[in-house]
Structure 1
């Protein structure tokens, strides 16, 4: 058995690390940027390590191999488990010990549920983006964007609810406005060009606008509570600012394609061969697309 595993193991080099053995399911190979479908050509600075042309079952198996989507998949999957664990802990320990009301339980549940949905949608997209059916890839991309919108909704629901806890009118105004914007984003996905690369900038503008809208209720909350000198504002405003700074930095990394822009040739290599196939030299026949 040990000898069989060794024969199935291929060695890949990650940066300056030594060669690592990796078990690869039969029928899965990795491709260079030039070999993948147009729908996957989102970042030209990532030159290799692409999964492509896989049926659903091999997409799932690829969860356990090293590719250029491994970090994306597992970071979101671990994020889902993190929010799931936090939800259980909050519902069974934190909120009961604080004598929370029924509304508190509902708002906390909605918030954490939205975050979990966001994480799972991203896991699904990064896992099935290599599907051999472009229609299936588009559906998962749509779910990913829908998940991002749901995650933003989760942030707004909890923030607006407690910021305007004593002002029911403005609470309803902002919650209805946010819900209307999220629904508008959902309906925008119906447009056939919405998920194309040509509309990538427009999608970014839309999500930045939805996220940036939060500045309006925040400033309104500061004004209602007596300005920046008020103790409650000084306690909570820095946290809101930090959240927006983190979101802005993440967006800047995304649109600037850093750090891969400066290290485009630092992709994985296998025993000196480009990482096109986990042991199958470039140009050799591959039967992954024939799998059911």
Structure 2
């Protein structure tokens, strides 16, 4: 039965065999899957696997092994760090209930981002296009959730003394989850929006617009030029965003370093692994920013 050929009803999935766990090259990938992969990573691929084979493939050295590890290890580290902050850091900084809630939102979103991406990379070799795009959609939705969660924590500190702006911007963050969930998780829209040329349009402009409004409002709300601390809020946001933008350009658009040495970094050191490490760096940078915002709130007058 392992060699029986089955035809998928999923468009573009074609036919598959039941036991193809041999490593293959980029040229041997199904046509529909090539658009999601980097042609400069030329070998080390698995394809045509079942769900169980995908899970077992985590014990096999492929070009996805590093992608999985660079998110699994940080996920464990962030779990430990979250518990440490909850029991040591926040009490040591005399945090209040809001600080605990913000920390919980932040670390929960970090776990969702890291684990959803891990899930995608585990099931990347899956033979069914629906399963592959569902994993990719989950990965992209995890990115959106984390961005909106980061904005939510920013709003909580920045507009702590304004119930109106807090409620307005928090509602905007929550409301934006609905269309993104439909775009990346609903089977009717998922195949379109997970394509590389569409996902950037779907994620980039709307979130960039919302971030710009939040940042500008935060600067004006805290006094603008007349304030000694107003610049800190937009600066930390722009610095954090700059980490992701620079990493995206270098490792996704420019495909550094594999574009310089095709095949040399197939297993270790290709751009997507560096992208994962840049994501972790950005998450750590935002954790530090939250403590900076907390200090500003503690030093200012109460509402």
Scaled by the length of structure 2, what TM-score is found?
A: 0.73
In structure 2, the CA distance between the partners of 1:233 and 1:100, relative to structure 1 (3 Å rule), is same
Is residue 138–residue 195 contact of structure 1 (8 Å, CA) maintained in 2? yes
Q: Does 1:32 align with 2:25?
A: yes
Q: Does 1:188 align with 2:183?
A: yes
Indicate which of 243, 246, 255 corresponds to 1:249. 246
Is residue 157–residue 175 contact of structure 1 (8 Å, CA) maintained in 2? yes
Is residue 193–residue 199 contact of structure 1 (8 Å, CA) maintained in 2? no
Task: Figure out how many residues of one structure are paired with residues of the other and give that number.
Answer: 244
> CA-atom RMSD, angstroms?
2.3
Mapping of 1:1-292 within 5 angstroms? Answer: 28-41=21-34, 42=36, 43-189=38-184, 190=186, 192-196=188-192, 199-212=195-208, 213-228=210-225, 230-253=227-250, 254-266=252-264
Secondary structure of residue in 2 paired with 1:233: coil
- The Cα of 1:210 is off from its aligned counterpart by 3.9
- What stretches of structure 2 of length at least 5 have no aligned partner? 1-18, 268-303
Secondary structure of residue in 2 paired with 1:52: coil
- Separation of aligned partners in 1, 2:119 and 2:32: 16
Secondary structure of residue in 1 paired with 2:229: helix
Q: Higher RCO, 1 or 2 (CA under 8 Å, sep at least 6)? A: 1
Aligned to 2:279: none
Secondary structure of residue in 2 paired with 1:172: helix
- The Cα of 1:73 is off from its aligned counterpart by 0.9
In structure 2, the CA distance between the partners of 1:211 and 1:228, relative to structure 1 (3 Å rule), is farther
1:39-87 deviations in Å (ceiling 9; x for gaps)? 4312222211111112233322322333221221111112211221121
In structure 2, the CA distance between the partners of 1:268 and 1:79, relative to structure 1 (3 Å rule), is closer
Is residue 218–residue 234 contact of structure 2 (8 Å, CA) maintained in 1? no
Larger Rg: 1
Scaled by the length of structure 1, what TM-score is found?
A: 0.76
- Separation of aligned partners in 2, 1:105 and 1:265: 46
- Separation of aligned partners in 1, 2:188 and 2:254: 26
In structure 2, the CA distance between the partners of 1:188 and 1:197, relative to structure 1 (3 Å rule), is closer
Is residue 41–residue 258 contact of structure 2 (8 Å, CA) maintained in 1? yes
- Separation of aligned partners in 1, 2:45 and 2:158: 45
In structure 2, the CA distance between the partners of 1:131 and 1:238, relative to structure 1 (3 Å rule), is same
- Separation of aligned partners in 1, 2:194 and 2:117: 21
1:64-119 deviations in Å (ceiling 9; x for gaps)? 33322122111111221122112101111112223322222122101110110110
Is residue 118–residue 147 contact of structure 1 (8 Å, CA) maintained in 2? yes
